[in-house]
Amino acid sequence: MTASDRFSHPAILRRLVAMCYEILLLSGVVAVLVIAPHVLIGAFAHRLATPAILWAHLFLVLLVYFIWFWSNGGQTLAMKTWRIRLLTCDGLPVRPAQALLRFLLCWPSLVIGGVGIVWALIDRDGQFLHDRIAGTQLVTA
């Protein structure tokens, strides 16, 4: 029996709904940690950040958010609500380097036609492509 067989894997619909809920929660995080500082800087300094700086700031906020939650308990706020946990394929907590790899891999997995999401339909454990490559798995918490 493999480590993956010891865990129940959430259905793809449940994971997709959790992703939508994550977007809703992240809109608040982004408003406070990305938009508000740039509005204040613009108001007081009378300067606007370049689009590259805004995108870099957004990317950094998302990177810190996901790596922190995935490597400290294996659950973001939305994942806690939907009882989904991120573990390694061995069933261990995710290390920060592995969380970083998953974060970086999820972008092309989502952006390139959602290929990483569609992958879950043919994967033997129903895992997303970025999870398979990063050596992680989503399990029912």
Residue pLDDT, tens place only, 60-72: 999 999 999 999 9
Mean pLDDT along residues 86-100 = 97
pTM of the model: 0.89
Q: State the residue for tokens 């810190």.
A: 64
Residues 6+ apart with CB under 8 A from 89: 3, 4, 135, 136, 137
Answer with the residue of higher pLDDT: 41 or 3: 41
Confidence at residue 1, expressed as pLDDT on a 0 to 100 scale: 44
AA letter at 15: R
Task: Tell me the average pLDDT across 105-121.
Answer: 94
Residues 120 and 126: beta-carbon distance below 8 Å = yes
Mean pLDDT of the chain: 93
